[in-house]
Amino acid sequence: MKIPNTIKKFIEDQGIFVVGTVGENRLPNISPRIFFKVDEYLIYWLDFFKHKSYRNFKENPFVAVSVFDKENLIGYQLKGDVSFVSNKKEKSEIKDGIIRRTSELYKSAYVKNLKKRDPEVIKFNPKIIYSLNPEEFSDLSVASEADITQLFSRKK
């Protein structure tokens, strides 16, 4: 599914999003991400710590990504699946680009120290996008790879 340009720009402008996962124990987990790249079809992010989200990715690759503008109370939720980038050249190029971009945006010592770690590169393939805008009907998708809205509708 192609990520609409308005949503791609929105994610980039916010500079942070939250990833929701569920693992084998069925407990939900959320984790913020600032080290990321959005391309036409995919979102990549770096996992430096390999804790709960990382374990959950391995158990259940279906995740939700939420991005929002708290000032204007608008945002989006993207649902899809993740995988690990394993090709060394591709992984290195994506990682270096994300670190370079994020280091330009955030000048803290903490961000600079993270550059020394060897993170996993996560590839997120969104399948459906919903609006989080309170003025909109959030059960209808903004974009999807197919008409899958019936999968999420309530049975009467």
* pLDDT greater at residue 2 or residue 112: 2
Strand partners, 38: 43
Please give the residue range of the domain that contains residue 63. Answer: 5-145
Distance between CA atoms of 41 and 43, rounded to whole angstroms? 7
Asked whether residue 82 is domain-assigned, the answer is yes
Mean pLDDT of 107-117: 85
Specify whether the CB–CB gap between 153 and 139 falls below 8 A.
Answer: yes
* pLDDT greater at residue 13 or residue 148: 13
SS3 content of the chain, % helix, strand, coil (to 5): 30, 35, 35
Asked whether residue 33 is domain-assigned, the answer is yes
Asked whether residue 150 is domain-assigned, the answer is no
Burial class (CB in 10 A: 0-12, 13-18, 19+), 82: buried
With a cut of 80, say whether residue 115 has pLDDT above it.
no
pLDDT tens digits, 36-85: 999 999 999 999 999 999 999 999 999 999 999 999 999 999 999 999 99
pLDDT tens digits, 4-47: 999 999 999 999 999 999 999 999 999 999 999 999 999 999 99
Mean pLDDT of 88-94: 97
Provide the pLDDT for residue 85.
98
Provide the pLDDT for residue 137.
67
Asked whether residue 153 is domain-assigned, the answer is no
Specify whether the CB–CB gap between 3 and 17 falls below 8 A.
Answer: no
Provide the pLDDT for residue 154.
42
Distance between CA atoms of 78 and 143, rounded to whole angstroms? 9
Provide the pLDDT for residue 155.
45
Asked whether residue 94 is domain-assigned, the answer is yes
Structure tokens at 8: 């791609």
Number of domains composing the chain: 1
Asked whether residue 80 is domain-assigned, the answer is yes
CATH number of the domain encompassing residue 92: 2.30.110.10
Asked whether residue 152 is domain-assigned, the answer is no
Asked whether residue 24 is domain-assigned, the answer is yes
